[in-house]
């Protein structure tokens, strides 16, 4: 099971064996929970929300117990990368009510999870005090004792084994100021590039894909493009469940402009697929074949934009730079007729979708983990970008390739801050000597402090922990004990190392491995900036005090830095001070958002970078006039590349190393469901959500179930080459024949 955000991931092949007879319903059937379940399903999962737009969310909010609101404060939702603006109604007892902010990009719409935010900070199981493991059990400790132990362990490891014996593992859920500080502390202070986190699993492919294509990370377009698109090409994503307000906006576009076509590519019939005009169900793992076959149909049918390609696009093959004829030659292996058998989609339908993509007034593509969390994830991202480039479906209203983000701050807080093992802030790379020297100067540390080789990425980090090479790890706001793929192989790394966990909730799977647990503040119990999928930075203000002795993650990092004798490196010690440092740092890059002062962020519903000065309104679309880095004389200018041309990478399809066979005949896809979020650490503690959603279970197509002898509700054991899992199986027609689906929010599943 991976730290995924959407369905359509090919991870393992599995065999399924029935264990027992049906054990009955998956739900708590008490009247109260049934009412809640029916409400959640009726308003969101079965289409009422899409039929009535924001009214449905308002009805949901009306069912929430509400107190008297004394003060309304603008804020940002805690959950996914959509970054919905919200209004938080406060009174002396805390959060009384949450509403969608009508002035924010989501125009007042919220998903179920966002509507239930008033219950988040009151959810049971909050961590309130530090704990240290003694004789196998976690016992309460003072902050002084806990941090002294952490410091001594880290210091001893660094002194005896060098800086690469320690590491930081984070997430896309910390505030930007927190992740930036962790990155600086470890790379510029301690001197190790062992800085990574769960965004490695979900967003690295998108980041590399954008960088290889345009020279810079992050999408070129924005959410407003939804309001102008004529064709939506959704692949490897399920926004009707995972980014609901965005899908509501897509449906609004279709209601205003009925010619709008929604195309969904997913081997599972999701809620998105049900509400689309066309649903293509390719065989898992064949997406790259499909995309190149679409490209072949576009070139063969002369549906490409010759002028745009001639003036703004370059082609890169395995042997180096090639021309247009190189593309034609490459595509000879990907005619729709040649690939239709392997993809499972007829050639005529491939051509139809390709023509719709290319020949519309404006095409917007959206994808998420179904493309990103793949062995060929980078190739899939560059090829999605390539389809937009050869058709000219880019850099205009409604036409853009957009990778959707699963976590609230994976873009702004991780990718932009350079908080991955191979990166430095604002698009710089560890391997680049000039980039290292520039950052050492900006961070005011001695030359050579930043190591010239990348650190350990997420998977290799946990492997090194298991071998005893990495002695100490600080894990913040992430739950790798549940979310890592092939978990059994990596659990020993958490067991063997000195594993420190900072979290807001107790008894997560990761805390079971922890030597020290540090209680962290949650959401509006601290202040900081989130940056979401459209390069929009938004401020979350502190509105509550954290419970017990819980502290903001930034305060924990500052404390650790001072105890390690690195207080001079981490000189900015408050959220506002860190933001000011980081904001000014951006002025030395093409990410320039130095105009986003704290005061402006308090005033506005977010600002989009580039935003180089305090009078700049922010940039909705990059690489065209209006982007401060594009000369007025240029119609399009991909300034991340030396020649200003975006690059189409001709990456061939290679069959995955592991496919179905006689022993493991099925493919397991994992993902999210509408009500729950990620590993359920937050949402599954909120009673209406927990009571209104089933426990973790498998979905199997009825054809496969019949062949194996499984009935709906049977308990089954699912085996793969990496382990086994027991759970209830629901027989349905949603998954493609030959596949299983399982959501991963249930910690006990």
Q: What percent of the chain has pLDDT over 90?
A: 81
d(CA 526, CA 458): 27
Whether pLDDT at 7 is above 80: no
Q: What is the pLDDT of residue 488?
A: 81
Q: What is the pLDDT of residue 359?
A: 96
Whether pLDDT at 50 is above 50: no
Q: What is the pLDDT of residue 22?
A: 27
Mean pLDDT for the stretch of residues 555-582: 98
Whether pLDDT at 575 is above 50: yes
Whether pLDDT at 38 is above 80: no
Residue 639's φ and ψ, nearest 5 degrees, are: -70, -5
Burial state string for 312-332 with b = 16 or more CB within 10 A and e = fewer than 16: bbbbbbeeeebebebbeebbe
Mean pLDDT for the stretch of residues 527-533: 97
Instruction: Specify whether the CB–CB gap between 382 and 500 falls below 8 A.
Output: no
Q: Tell me which DSSP letter residue 657 carries.
A: S
Q: What is the pLDDT of residue 381?
A: 97
Least confident of 32-41, 227-236, 520-529: 32-41
How many CB atoms sit inside 10 A of residue 255's CB?
11
pLDDT in tens, 376-412: 999 999 999 999 999 999 999 999 999 999 899 999 9
Higher-confidence position of 465 and 17: 465
Instruction: Specify whether the CB–CB gap between 529 and 576 falls below 8 A.
Output: no
Which of helix, strand or coil describes residue 527?
Answer: coil
Q: What is the pLDDT of residue 744?
A: 85
Whether pLDDT at 37 is above 90: no
Predicted confidence band of residue 530 (pLDDT cuts 50, 70, 90): very high
Predicted confidence band of residue 23 (pLDDT cuts 50, 70, 90): very low
Whether pLDDT at 46 is above 90: no
Q: What is the pLDDT of residue 16?
A: 39
Q: What is the pLDDT of residue 82?
A: 95
pLDDT in tens, 217-273: 999 999 999 999 999 999 999 999 999 999 999 999 999 999 999 999 999 999 999
Task: Give me the helices (H) in 336-486, please.
Answer: 336-343, 347-359, 369-372, 377-391, 433-443, 458-467, 480-483
Q: What is the pLDDT of residue 602?
A: 97
Least confident of 428-442, 565-579, 722-736: 722-736
Predicted confidence band of residue 29 (pLDDT cuts 50, 70, 90): very low
d(CA 356, CA 64): 43
Q: What is the pLDDT of residue 443?
A: 98
Q: What is the pLDDT of residue 60?
A: 53
Whether pLDDT at 32 is above 80: no
Instruction: Specify whether the CB–CB gap between 438 and 588 falls below 8 A.
Output: yes
Whether pLDDT at 66 is above 80: no
Instruction: Specify whether the CB–CB gap between 484 and 490 falls below 8 A.
Output: yes
pLDDT in tens, 464-473: 999 999 999 9
pLDDT in tens, 555-567: 999 999 999 999 9
Mean pLDDT for the stretch of residues 200-221: 94
Mean pLDDT for the stretch of residues 67-76: 91
Q: What is the pLDDT of residue 64?
A: 54
Residues 625, 627, 632, 636, CA torsion sign: negative
Q: What is the pLDDT of residue 678?
A: 87
Q: What is the pLDDT of residue 693?
A: 85
pLDDT in tens, 664-692: 999 999 888 888 988 888 998 898 888 88
What is the rounded average pLDDT for all residues in the chain?
90
Q: What is the pLDDT of residue 62?
A: 52
Q: What is the pLDDT of residue 325?
A: 94
Whether pLDDT at 733 is above 90: yes
Predicted confidence band of residue 698 (pLDDT cuts 50, 70, 90): very high
d(CA 21, CA 14): 21
Burial of residue 673 (number of CB atoms within 10 Å: 0-12, 13-18, 19+): buried
The C-alpha R_g of the chain, in whole angstroms, comes to: 25
Q: How far is C-alpha 679 from the geometric centre of its chain's CA atoms?
A: 13
Mean pLDDT for the stretch of residues 297-323: 96
Whether pLDDT at 489 is above 90: no
Least confident of 39-43, 68-72, 191-195, 212-216: 39-43
Mean pLDDT for the stretch of residues 67-74: 90
Q: What is the pLDDT of residue 634?
A: 95
């Amino acid at each position: 099971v991976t730290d995924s955000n959407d369905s359509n991931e090919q991870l393992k092949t599995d065999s399924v064996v029935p264990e027992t007879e049906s054990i009955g319903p998956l739900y708590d059937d008490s009247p109260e929970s049934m009412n809640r379940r029916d409400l959640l399903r009726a308003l969101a999962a079965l289409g009422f929300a899409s039929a009535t737009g924001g009214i449905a969310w308002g009805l949901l909010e009306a069912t929430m117990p509400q107190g008297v609101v004394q003060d309304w404060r603008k804020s940002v939702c805690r959950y996914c990368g959509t970054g919905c603006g919200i209004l938080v109604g406060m009174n002396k007892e805390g959060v009384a009510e949450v509403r969608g902010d009508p002035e924010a990009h989501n125009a007042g719409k919220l998903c179920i999870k966002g509507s239930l935010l008033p219950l988040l900070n009151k959810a049971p199981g909050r961590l309130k005090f530090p704990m240290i493991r003694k004789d196998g059990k976690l016992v309460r400790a003072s902050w002084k004792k806990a941090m002294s132990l952490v410091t001594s362990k880290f210091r001893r490891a660094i002194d005896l084994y060098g800086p690469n014996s320690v590491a930081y593992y984070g997430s896309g859920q910390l505030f930007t100021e927190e992740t930036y500080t962790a990155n600086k502390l470890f790379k510029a202070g301690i001197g190790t590039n062992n800085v990574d986190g769960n965004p490695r699993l979900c967003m690295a492919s998108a980041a590399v894909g954008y960088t290889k294509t345009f020279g810079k990370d992050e999408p070129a377009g924005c959410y407003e493009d939804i309001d102008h698109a004529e064709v939506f090409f959704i692949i490897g994503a399920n926004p009707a469940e995972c980014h609901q307000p965005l899908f509501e906006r897509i449906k609004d576009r279709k209601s205003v402009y009925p010619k709008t076509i929604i195309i969904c590519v997913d081997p599972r019939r999701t809620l998105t697929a049900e509400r689309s005009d066309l649903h293509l169900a390719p065989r898992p793992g064949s997406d790259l074949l499909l995309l190149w076959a679409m490209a072949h149909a576009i070139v063969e049918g002369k549906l490409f934009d010759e002028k745009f390609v001639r003036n703004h696009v370059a082609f890169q093959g395995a042997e180096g730079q090639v021309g247009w004829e190189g593309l034609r030659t490459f595509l000879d292996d990907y005619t729709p007729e040649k690939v239709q058998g392997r993809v499972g989609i007829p050639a005529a339908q491939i051509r139809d979708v390709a023509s719709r993509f290319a020949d519309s007034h404006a095409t917007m593509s959206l994808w998420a983990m179904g493309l990103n969390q793949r062995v060929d994830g980078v190739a899939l991202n560059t090829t999605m970008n390539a389809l937009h480039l050869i058709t000219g479906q880019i850099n205009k209203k409604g036409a853009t390739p957009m990778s959707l983000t699963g976590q609230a701050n994976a873009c702004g807080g991780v990718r932009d801050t350079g908080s991955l093992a191979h990166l430095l802030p604002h698009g710089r790379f560890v391997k680049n000597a000039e980039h290292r020297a520039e950052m050492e100067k900006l961070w005011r540390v001695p030359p050579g402090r930043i190591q010239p080789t990348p650190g350990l990425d997420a998977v290799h980090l946990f492997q090194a922990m298991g071998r005893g090479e990495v002695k100490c790890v600080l894990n913040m706001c992430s739950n790798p004990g549940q979310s890592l793929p092939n978990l059994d192989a990596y659990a020993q790394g958490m067991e063997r190392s000195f594993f420190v966990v900072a979290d807001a909730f107790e008894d997560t799977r990761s805390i079971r491995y922890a030597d020290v647990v540090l209680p962290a503040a949650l959401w509006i119990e601290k202040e900081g900036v989130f940056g979401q999928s459209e390069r929009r930075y938004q401020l979350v203000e502190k509105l509550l005090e954290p419970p017990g002795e819980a502290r903001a993650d930034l305060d924990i990092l500052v404390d650790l830095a001072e105890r390690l004798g690195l207080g001079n490196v981490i000189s900015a010690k408050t959220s506002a001070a860190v933001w000011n440092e980081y904001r000014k740092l951006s002025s030395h890059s093409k990410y320039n958002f130095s105009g986003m002062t704290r005061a402006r962020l308090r005033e506005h519903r977010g600002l989009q970078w580039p935003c180089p000065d305090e009078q700049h309104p922010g940039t909705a679309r990059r690489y065209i006039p209006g982007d401060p880095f594009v000369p007025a004389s240029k119609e399009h200018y991909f300034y991340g590349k030396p020649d200003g041309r975006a690059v189409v990478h001709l990456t061939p399809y290679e069959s995955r190393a592991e496919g179905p066979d006689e022993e493991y005949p099925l493919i397991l896809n994992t993902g999210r469901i509408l009500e729950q979020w990620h590993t359920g650490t937050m949402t599954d503690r909120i009673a209406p959500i927990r009571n209104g959603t089933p426990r973790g279970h498998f979905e199997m197509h009825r054809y496969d179930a019949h062949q194996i002898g499984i009935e709906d509700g049977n308990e089954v054991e699912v085996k793969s080459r990496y382990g086994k899992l027991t759970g209830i199986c629901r027989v349905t027609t949603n998954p493609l024949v030959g596949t299983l689906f399982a959501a991963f929010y249930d910690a006990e599943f």
